[in-house]
Every structure is written in C-alpha cells, then in structure tokens.
Amino acid sequence: MSRLIFIGFILMVVGCAFGQPDLPPGSGFPRNADVDPRLHLTGADRAQIARLVAVETSQPIRMVWRAGNPDKVLVTCGSVDLARPTAWAHGTGYILQRTGAKWTITDRPQVGITPRT
C-alpha cells in the first residue's frame, strides 16, 4: 500500500514538473492551448492575454501564435483541428500588441481555414 502511495506521489511530482510553472493559478489560460514555441510569454503575459480574451468571448483560447514580431500575437478561439492533413479552424481571432508590459487588442479577424481537398 505504501508503495502505491509513493508511486502516486512520484507521478504527481513529475506531472507538475512538466506543467507551466510560471502560470498563476486561476489565470484562465488553458494548459492545452497551442502556444508558438518562438514566443517567450511569461505567466503574467498569459494571464493578461486570457483576461483580455475572456472579456470578448466565452470560448477558450485554442492557439497563440506569433503575428509578425514577438510583441504581436494572434489568439484564436473556437473550433480548431490542425493535426490532420485536412486541417481546419473556424472562430474568432484576436490580434494583440504588447507595449511595454501591457497587452491590448488591436484587431478581431475571423478565422476560417477550410480543409484542403
């Protein structure tokens, strides 16, 4: 029994180690969101982005991608499936621009990627 508890504890610690350690609890930024690896967003950046998007929509953030330069990002919400050869995405997008430590929404494009046939 103690081995089972010990193994469970180890698995929990390993699971926490691979999470986003700088993401504040209750930030609203989904852990399963696809974030561009070229972006170096801090936990405060992610929390601020999540708050801005939450004011605009109740849909969860699906992707955060670089939009030109590192201080400009495209945030998409809605249905996304980019893992298959017939990739598609539909929903609302938000272009956010960082000025200093503050993010602001500068545009709201509609995202409409249809499958290739």
Contact 71, 65 (CB under 8 A): no
Q: Which pLDDT score, from 0 to 100, does residue 104 have?
A: 95
Q: Which pLDDT score, from 0 to 100, does residue 53 have?
A: 93
The CA angle 29-66-18, to the nearest 5 degrees, is: 45
Q: What is the pLDDT along the chain (117 residues), one digit of tens a residue?
A: 666 565 655 656 555 555 444 555 566 788 888 888 889 888 889 999 999 999 998 888 888 989 888 899 999 887 766 666 666 666 788 999 999 989 999 998 877 666 665
Q: Which pLDDT score, from 0 to 100, does residue 89 have?
A: 66
With a threshold of 0.75, does the pTM exceed it?
Answer: no
The tokens of 101 are what?
């430590």
Domain locations in the chain as residue ranges: 24-113
Block residue for tokens 């992610």: 46
**Cα(105)–Cα(93) distance, integer angstroms:** 10
Kind and range of the H or E run holding 38:
none
